[in-house]
Chains A and B, each alone.
Chain A
Amino acid sequence: MFLCEKLSKTFEGVAALVDVELRFPESGVVAVMGPNGAGKTTLFNIMSGWQRPDSGRCTFGARNLAKLAPYQVARLGVARTFQDLRFIKEVSVLENVLLARPKQRGESLFRAIFGIGIADAERQNQELATNILTLVGLQDKIGSRADEISYGEQKLLTLACCVASEASVLLLDEPVAGVHPGMVRPISSLLLSLKAQGKLVVLIEHDIEIIRDLADQVIVMDSGRVIAVGGPHDVLGRPEILKAYIE
């Protein structure tokens, strides 16, 4: 579904991506690893429509993402988390997840003013949002202000938002880094269940254990290039991969 063809991107003289060719599976868990500056976040930005490649193209279901605004890419079913942990701070955890719910008719101005037929949908969304928050372990923080919970909990919140959006592709930037160790297992199970639902989960991840446990496919990047693609046991065993990390 997701196809990257000869993607290249340069920022003020620095090559962030060089001739990246990737074919993502329809569903499953794919891990993207590599040292800092490898181009992982740039790849995510292009895949979610926030940046355009200088050359090459990225298509999702035959749609060229360069022609779409970020919100349109999101509507196609691509959800993401951000490296600098974005969410709405001055509202509650629940409001954040409610925001992520797609196709809300109450978001039309006409319906908002005349209040037709939005009460039921709101109720349903609230129920669903609560369930999702319970799933990620935030059931006790539903009413808390989003900026008053811990960093790990905020990470879980952004994950909950991605799930609530009913996206078919989730681009997660280090979903378990900084999270309470006890929560790592439930999150891993959640990601696996998303895979079982037929979704594609792409993770930027450094933790080798997690990659080994979860990933069906591993992509290794370095200095803007893809240096390895394959199954975790295959890729993680190669000495040149470890070398890339150490250097």
Chain B
Amino acid sequence: MFTQILFNGLVAGAIYALVALGFSLRFQATRTFDFSYAAVITLSAYAAGKVFEYSGANWVISALAGCTTAGTVGVLLDVTIFRPMRRSGARELAILLASLGTMVAVANSISLGFGDRQQIIGSAVTHNSIALGSARITSLQLATIYVALMVGGFCWYAYHRTRWGLVMRALADDEVLARCYGISRERLILQATILAAVIGSSAAILSAMDTGLSPLIGFQLLLPGVVASVVGGMGRLGGVVIAGCAIGLIQQAAGWITSAGWQDPILFAILLVFLLVRPHGVFGAPLRRSAV
């Protein structure tokens, strides 16, 4: 039993870590909480799902379709909504509200078009399971962990070992200075948006293959992602990933102790506790008092 929870927790955690990673990346670049991220990854999961149906269960093409959709939608939303707002000097509150509106509009559009019911994608192949000790782990779950490790590793490499990553970190630290060095903030935001979209889309597609498609899938993944981001320390991508895994484990354990319905509130109670005792997250730098 314990090992089963451990596995399930790690798998769930892997997915939340990916979502948290994408969400934090966008935050790093734009300095705002972007709830439209839920819309981006939901659409990508639906694209992957539909292509899977029509391509005769070819998951490579589906995944590509999903990621492409995510990147396209992410860029589209940023260019049509958030960039003009940034240009006109909109405050964070205004951008936050716009992102909320986007999330709601897209989720309900999907609901209108495809219905609310959970739709299963993925074939029997993905649910073959092997035994590992006293637990059973499906091939999908293994794939999830594999993908998460690959994506996570790639991000770490990009962030810490490439010039692009260096520039991102510089920008995160000091926008004005970055601009002095000729680094275009908008271009960086675009790059971060695409990367975040692809990361998030992989999480959503994997999750959809496990529990099915629904218009709320993005939102349901985003919430733990946001919690992981805060708990991990918004800017610290490594911390955010670890927090995501921890949250997956806690959630599975909680679900086993109480019931599935209490998983979300327990997560958020943890968030509130963190805000109370360690608001900058486990790994984040202590928050500076309002910049003066």
Do A and B interact directly, with beta carbons closer than 8 Å?
yes
User: Which positions in A face B, CB cutoff 8 Å?
Assistant: 45, 50-51, 82
Q: Which residues of B contact A51 (CB under 8 A)?
A: 289, 292
A-B contact pairs, 7 of them (CB 8 A): A45-B292, A50-B289, A50-B290, A50-B292, A51-B289, A51-B292, A82-B292
- Interface size, chain B (Cβ < 8 Å): 3
* Chain B positions 253 through 292: 1 when the CB is less than 8 Å from some CB of chain A, otherwise 0: 0000000000000000000000000000000000001101
A50 to B292, CA, bound (A): 7
Residue of B nearest to A69 (CB): B289
A82 to B292, CA, bound (A): 8
Q: Which residues of A contact B290 (CB under 8 A)?
A: 50
Q: Which residues of A contact B292 (CB under 8 A)?
A: 45, 50-51, 82
Q: Which residues of B contact A82 (CB under 8 A)?
A: 292
A195 to B158, CA, bound (A): 59
Q: Determine how close the nearest CB of chain A comes to the CB of B199; give it in whole angstroms.
A: 29
Residue of B nearest to A86 (CB): B292
Residue of A nearest to B173 (CB): A12
A238 to B289, CA, bound (A): 39
Q: Determine how close the nearest CB of chain A comes to the CB of B140; give it in whole angstroms.
A: 45
* Chain B positions 128 through 171: 1 when the CB is less than 8 Å from some CB of chain A, otherwise 0: 00000000000000000000000000000000000000000000
Give me the 3 closest cross-chain CB pairs, A-B, nearest first. A50-B292, A45-B292, A82-B292
Q: Which residues of B contact A45 (CB under 8 A)?
A: 292
A82 to B290, CA, bound (A): 13
Q: Determine how close the nearest CB of chain B comes to the CB of A87; give it in whole angstroms.
A: 14
Q: Determine how close the nearest CB of chain B comes to the CB of A97; give it in whole angstroms.
A: 21
Residue of B nearest to A83 (CB): B292
Q: Determine how close the nearest CB of chain B comes to the CB of A203; give it in whole angstroms.
A: 18
Residue of B nearest to A12 (CB): B173
Q: Which residues of B contact A50 (CB under 8 A)?
A: 289-290, 292
Q: Determine how close the nearest CB of chain B comes to the CB of A70; give it in whole angstroms.
A: 8
